[in-house]
Amino acid sequence: MNPRIAPAIPPFSPEIDAALKKIMPPGVPPLGLFTTLARNPRVFQRFMAGGLLDRGSIGLREREIVIDRTTARCAAEYEWGVHVAFFAVKAGLTAAQIAATATGGVDDPAWSPREQLLVRLVDALHETSTVDAPLWAALKGEFSDEQLIELVVLAGLYHMVSFVTNALAVPLEPAAARFPAR
């Protein structure tokens, strides 16, 4: 599929160049998502400022479960594949768990009971845009208020990222993972 909006090409403005160098590992070209957003510098700068990939109230593993499940539910293979390629091993996700983010149910045995709550949260937000009282009570038994805020915002942020990559038809990154066969 061809991109609907061509990515920006170097040379970038000093501000965009600095932001890209800050987020990308040395020697790795910027991701297509970033160069596409760079076509609108205002949106690019605000997008880059709104990330939640830093050390927050939840750990890397739980963060990646939420991101991977959210992007999989949104059929955003671009973003799912980038996160699997860049973070799955660091997060300690097994091949079965990676597959479960895309094809597993809320009670998939690949997940611990706490991790199943994360999958249930993502699925509830995706399907209903809210969390019912029984699920919220279960989540409150495992996560602090600070963590619950971060988890809900994280799922919402990656819905937005999924909308962008899907609607703009951002081409898949060559080194990124692909969805498992169903």
Domain range spanning residue 28?
Answer: 14-49
At 27-64, the pLDDT tens digits run 999 999 999 999 999 999 999 887 767 778 999 999 99
Q: Within a domain: residue 2?
A: no
Question: Alpha-carbon Rg of the chain, whole angstroms?
Answer: 17
Tell me, yes or no, whether 35 and 88 share the same domain. Answer: no
Output DSSP code: residue 97.
H
The predicted pLDDT at position 120 comes to: 98
Cα 41 from chain centre: 22
Which CATH number goes with the domain that contains 142?
A: 1.20.1290.10
The predicted pLDDT at position 182 comes to: 74
The predicted pLDDT at position 78 comes to: 98
At 102-157, the pLDDT tens digits run 999 999 999 999 999 999 999 999 999 999 999 999 999 999 999 999 999 999 99
